[in-house]
Amino acid sequence: MARAAAKVILLGEHAVVYGAPALAAALDRGARATARKAATDRLTLGERGSVGGDGSELARGLEALRASLSAPPQEVTAELEMPAGAGLGASAALGVAIARAVLESVSPALEPGEPAVRARVLEAAAAWERVFHGNPSGIDAAASECGGCIRYTRAAGPEPIDMLLPLSLAIAVAGPPASTREMVESVARLAERRPDLVGKTVAGITSLVDNARLCIEAGDLPGLGKLMDLNQMLLAGLMVSTPGIEAACDTARRAGALGAKLTGAGGGGCVIALADRDAEPILAAWRAEDLHCFAATVGGPERPA
């Protein structure tokens, strides 16, 4: 059984598509998969299933992943441990888990922690992601493969970040998820109409991300929260926020969150809120508004009481 983490983008989504850095952190849940050699490809994902050559995204994804690993056809069973399509990187977590499972099936002697093996998993997961998302920046697959907290750029790939303190996050589904591909395309259309606006926004987000990295390394949670709020304002300027996202962020801030923003593509999907210590008051406020939500702690050593 192979596993892989889902992720949250802490800051920098959308700008990362234009070459800016972004920060992402792996969650403690994601996807798991098993694979064994078979006469034809077969992929079972919960209730869904696909057979090699049926033209479905799942079948094309498995084929692309397998081609990247030069692996023969596989029978794969996969499960998600979190909501799909909500901006938490479910498809990338699946891609990484399936790539690990396929490698285990074809080359059981390989050491999963070896840099060359990890690079193959990342490349195979990226091939899988391209089937679902067109031209992804690659941050989802990188965060899932690396674990912990990373800084990511398209040019340099993932770089692990040392966290002085773990981050206590509250995560809510603030509305029906939108398609990542459509949200990325809507920002691209805005960039055609208003290159000045999008250029300045990307530059602004770059500086927020650089400062947020310093906050994470120094354990400055209030500083990080303020930068998340500012990132949310800039994302709203890119028209990827929604009234539901803004309302969920406001509720979280009123319940004591240090900062709150959408995570992932926006247009719906998930909001993250940074708690000072305890995410429970934020979760209680969201539950009172009937939002589906949960807590997640990412990275770092245990925080002293």
The CA R_g of the chain, rounded to the nearest whole Å, is: 19
Chain residue at closest Cβ approach to ligand PMV: 264
Q: Looking at beta carbons only, is 89 or 95 nearer to ligand PMV?
A: 89
Contacts (CB under 6 A) with ligand PMV, residues 180-199: 180, 184
Q: Indicate the residue among 139 and 285 with the shorter CB distance to ligand PMV.
A: 139
Q: Which is nearer to ligand PMV, 89 or 147 (CB)?
A: 89
Residue type, position 145, single letter: E
Restricted to residues 134-153, the positions that interact with ligand PMV (CB under 6 A) are: 136-137, 139-140
> Please, which residues have CB within 8 angstroms of residue 257's CB and are 6 or more apart in sequence?
170, 225, 273, 274, 275, 282
The pattern of x and - marking residues 25 through 64 that bind ligand PMV according to CB under 6 A reads: ----------------------------------------
124 binds ligand PMV, rule: CB under 6 A: no
From the candidates 140, 210, 229, 278, give the one annotated as an active-site residue.
140
| Cα–Cα distance list, 222 to 167, 180, 213, 256, 257 (Å) | 11, 30, 13, 11, 9
* 290 is known as an active-site residue: no
Specify the amino acid at residue 189.
R
Choice from 61, 95, 147, 264 touching ligand PMV (CB under 6 A): 264
Compute the least distance from the CB of residue 219 to ligand PMV, in Å: 26
Q: Is 238 in the site for ligand PMV (CB under 6 A)?
A: no
Instruction: Give the number of other Cβ atoms within 10 Å of residue 82's Cβ.
Output: 20
Residue 85 CA to its chain's centroid (Å) = 10
CB of 188 to ligand PMV, least distance (A): 11
Of residues 16 and 255, the one with the C-beta less far from ligand PMV: 16
Give the Cα separation of 256 and 234 in Å (integer): 22
- Distances, alpha carbon 51 to alpha carbons 65, 94, 133, 197, in Å: 15, 17, 21, 45
24 forms part of the interface with ligand PMV (CB under 6 A): no
Residue 144 has which token pair?
């899932």
- 70-to-109, 129, 196, 208 alpha-carbon distances in Å: 16, 17, 44, 41
Q: Which residue has the tokens 């995204």?
A: 57
Between 63 and 140, whose beta carbon lies closer to ligand PMV? 140
As a whole number of angstroms, the distance between CA 132 and CA 11 comes to: 23
Report whether 45 contacts 57 (CB < 8 A): no
**Two tokens at 21?**
């850095």
175 binds ligand PMV per the rule CB under 6 A: no
Per CB under 6 A, contacts with ligand PMV among 81-100 are 87, 89
Q: How far is the CB of 164 from ligand PMV (least distance, A)?
A: 26
Q: Name which of 35 and 293 has its Cβ closer to ligand PMV.
A: 293
Q: What residues are annotated to the active site?
A: 140
Residues that bind ligand PMV (CB under 6 A): 9, 13-14, 16-17, 87, 89, 136-137, 139-140, 180, 184, 264-265
